[in-house]
Structure 1
Amino acid sequence: APPEALALIFLGLLIKGGIFVSGLWLPLTHSESETPVSALLSGIVIKASILPLLRCALISDDIGNIVRIFGVATALMGVFFVIFEKDTKRMLAFSTISQLGFILAAPEVGGIYALGHGLVKSNLFLMAGSLPSRNFKELQSKPIGYNLWIPLVIASLSISGFPLLAGFGSKVLTLKSVAPWQEIPMNIAALGTAIAFAKFIFLPRGEKQEIKIGLWLAIALLTSGLIIANVVYLEAYTVESIIKAIGTIAIGWLIYVLVIKRLAIALPRVAEQFEHLIGVMTLSLIVLFWMALA
């Protein structure tokens, strides 16, 4: 195919999939959408453009390397924003960007990671819509019911890679499948995920909270899926993998409690403005043309 065609196709898929800087439309979209819409967008719709990228990556090593580079860059960029974001829905949207990076970083096993992420992120968005506030600072003084906090913790542990949940096997398989040059940045991204989702885990708890029966059934179904999908990769359960996963999460929680929780950093949103997104996409197209020609 002509390099121009490859570059244009890639740019379209990167934008629709929310990859790297082209994905900065996601936080604003998620924050303005109704909670069920956000759950569908993050859990299902975004994945629709990831599949073609994974299939393209498996066609040739040259295309695969481009996809892997974007995967690493996306994972690191997303996790940087998610650690400092104070709005629950925007935080989950940035997390989606970061987790898409994990999917692209190891195209051969991206489908398994996409399955685990789709289950957990749909669940998290639905529960975030039932929290008494979207601001993490306000949530620190507004205890949530144990009946909501427990599934919220299970989902947060899964996306952090805790054993016995779907996120553990998919994360271990992905980190085992990355190229040597990807190992350090992807492990940093995994640590950043643990830091970020400690925000939910360390929320104060209170009395039982009223939850609509339809929402409760959806949460129960998705939470069950996180446990059942754990059997997809039982080979992940080695002593080394379990110790590494628990250690990463423990370090992440420690960094959150001692450092991140006490910071009051507000990241600028100027890059999310439409004219800047267009500029970034233009620069991305130039880079893709250069990569395709190379």
Structure 2
Amino acid sequence: MSCACPDPPLRSHALSIHLGAHKTASTHLQHSLRQVRDGLREAGLALVDPNLLRGEPLSLSLILAQGMGGPDEAGARQVLRDLRQGCPDLLISEENILGLTHRSRLFSRKGELYPRAAARLRHVIALAGDEPAVLYLSLRDPASFIVSAFALQVAGGKEIDLDSYLCGRDPARSVWLDLVGRLAAVEEVSRIVLWRYEDYPALRPQLLERLLPPGLAALVPDPPPANVGLTQAGYEWLLRRAAAEPEADIRLLARRARARFQPAGGHAPLRLLDEATHARSAENYARDIEILRAIPGVELLEP
């Protein structure tokens, strides 16, 4: 099938990669963009998101696990070419490019966040055709981020105790400055666009203007939150049920907890760390943001 994409003279061929991170409203943004996929294609932009990268037609996680030059490399390149269908611009949106939130994958022994992120990014850029890439990455307060990543693992039935998940790591320590530095060092990266997850609702129109061809941002709907996590009441209920039923399926309990104790019902967000930890985290986060704001090649979107 041929692409109906025009070839507008004022727009250059471009590769944009939205990296997430996890638990920073990535699913909401992806769901929003998916609603206008056909319109994006008509304007010359091919959107490739988790619906196309987690199974059929392409298991990107499997390809990245194999490493560069793996047995399925050529096939993956062809699948991406087919998904692009000749469109001048390509937007890949997939938070798992950075890595995974499992306790052994999210941090290295040295404490690096997403320790293989740079290597995985290089691989994705190579699969897409070795074009210069603009990266889009949302940041989040470190303590809030790590608790949400833990909750994601609880929902998958892999974790239940935060201390065990942390493995002695300080949840308030600075993490984003190092990650952005490693991503910026990837030779094919031309620019990194950052924003704070906490600012996402206010600057979403501005972000869409950066991501999409002219005139399309206003057409993107703003659906309800797509991935509502555990609340504090839901997590406490899950712990009680797991203690009473040691053989219970944690994934099932987590689904029930999310259904019964929703934010829309007035239940407070999950908060598993003390106020002093949150205060240190906020200070470290603010310091990272100030440094990142001044780095050449890094653009920080603000409301």
Q: TM-score, normalised by structure 2?
A: 0.30
Computing the radius of gyration from Cα coordinates, the structure with the larger value is: 2
Q: Which has the higher strand share?
A: 2
Q: Which has the higher helix share?
A: 1
Q: TM-score, normalised by structure 1?
A: 0.30
